[in-house]
Structure 1
């Protein structure tokens, strides 16, 4: 039976875990790679967290730092946010109604995907990197991990599961953090009968962006996933009913 090992740290205000499987799971190389993953995510939080007074985002907001003076990685993320806004027709927008800039909706997926490169360098290793429910996996064995989609009505339950041997699953909604998402079309909180939208596809950065934009889109959310090939979605209604796009993997069952 293949070795298994797990690690977990609290980063970005949420649990970040790595589950490794295979002959290399207990190796020093795997442990070192995981520590590098955590360190990289801690650094991303230091730079981009709007809740840290010394982050680049906070310094920019207070006018204590100019765009010409920021670390190049901040300008890279700003450019990625601009591309995400164009991709989603403005439904994903890091520019806030008050004129501020908050790239949080992109940073987590981008940072997790970038940090995951450390794990890709470990041969013969299956791994699942989970950052507060946004998941990135790669299985050299082609034996998939089962990813649970959390029930937005009850965080102790799942509404369904998805099997993935590579790629990502991201979820957007108001269950975990309340009405924190705004609609760029109105400048106010998102109003929707959908409690969450999950997106599965090749890239966690893009899945995260598309999940956010789809949730903001409301009734038209499935059309948002047509912006990029290879992405499928699952919406959860307030009454617990599920609606999936045609290519959503038919794995798992509703929690009821």
Structure 2
């Protein structure tokens, strides 16, 4: 039986789990890589959380610091948010109603993708990193992991699944937090007949951005995914019916 080991910690206000599979899963090298992942994500949360009073995002929102007074990584993320807005035709925007800047919709995917570089350095281990339903897969063995897609109507049930030997799966919708997404074009909450949109692709950063933008786009969501090559989607309607783009399931 192939050795496996798992970890889970609460970071960014959500459970982040890591599953290791392979001969080196129980090694000190694997342990060090995972601890490095968690340490990096804790630091990202310290800098970018809008819920921490001393984060860069909160200081910027209160006007206590300007863009020239924040760490370069904050300016890098701001540039990535601008690029994401341009990529999605304004469907993704870190400028939220009220005029404040909240990069949360990009930061989770970006930070997990970046932290995942530590896992890629461990050659004899397959990895599945799950950050609150957004998943990064690294499989040197080329043996896939099966990633479940949650039923938005029943969070304890898996409605679909997709096999991946690498890359990412990201989901945006109303299951976890209700109608929390807004349409940057109108400034109002998104009210859609779609309960969720899941996106697969090479990068978790872009899969996450495209999933958010696709959900905002409502019935036009499949068109959003054509902005980048290699990204496919699965939409779940409020009644539980599924609709997949042609390349969904390729992993």
State TM-score, norm by structure 2.
0.99
CA distance in 1, matches of 2:38, 2:47: 14
The yes-or-no answer on 1:212 pairing with 2:207 is no
- When the two chains are superposed, the root-mean-square deviation of aligned CA atoms in Å is 0.9
Helix, strand or coil at the partner of 2:54 = coil
Distance 2:61 2:184 in 1: 19
* Unmatched segments (≥5 aa) in structure 2: none
| Alpha-carbon distance in structure 2 between the residues aligned to 1:180 and 1:60 | 22
Runs of 4+ in 1 over 4 A off after TM superposition: none
Q: How does 1:1-256 map to 2 (within 5 A)?
A: 1-249=1-249
**Structure 1 residue 59, shift from structure 2 partner:** 0.4
Q: Deviations over 1:233-256 (max 9, x none)?
A: 0000011000000111179xxxxx
SS at match of 1:172: strand
Deviation at 1:108, TM superposition (A): 0.1
Q: Distance in 1 between matches of 2:177 and 2:82?
A: 24
Q: Distance in 2 between matches of 1:250 and 1:55?
A: 39
Whether contact under 8 Å (2:163, 2:250) holds in the other structure is: no
Cα distance in 2 for partners of 1:233, 1:134 equals 14
Alignment partner of 2:113: what SS?
helix
Is the contact between residue 145 and residue 164 of structure 2 (CA under 8 Å) also seen in structure 1?
A: yes
- Do the aligned residues in 1 keep the contact of 2:179 with 2:191 (CA within 8 Å)? no
Structure 2: distance between partners of 1:31 and 1:236:
37
Closer, same or farther: CA 82–220 of 1 in aligned 2, 3 Å: same
Distance 1:176 1:12 in 2: 15
What are the superposed Cα offsets for residues 12-61 of structure 1, whole Å, 9 maximum, x if unpaired? Answer: 01000000000110000000100000000000001000011111000000
Mapped partners of 1:53, 1:156: distance in 2: 34
Deviations 1:173-202 (CA, angstroms, capped at 9, x unpaired): 111011111001110101210000000000
What CA deviation, in whole Å up to 9, does each residue of 1:209-233 have, x standing for no partner? Answer: 0000000000100000000000000
Unaligned runs of 5+ in 1: 252-256
- 2:148 is paired with a residue whose SS is strand
Q: How many residues matched?
A: 251
Alpha-carbon distance in structure 2 between the residues aligned to 1:187 and 1:146: 37
SS at match of 1:206: helix
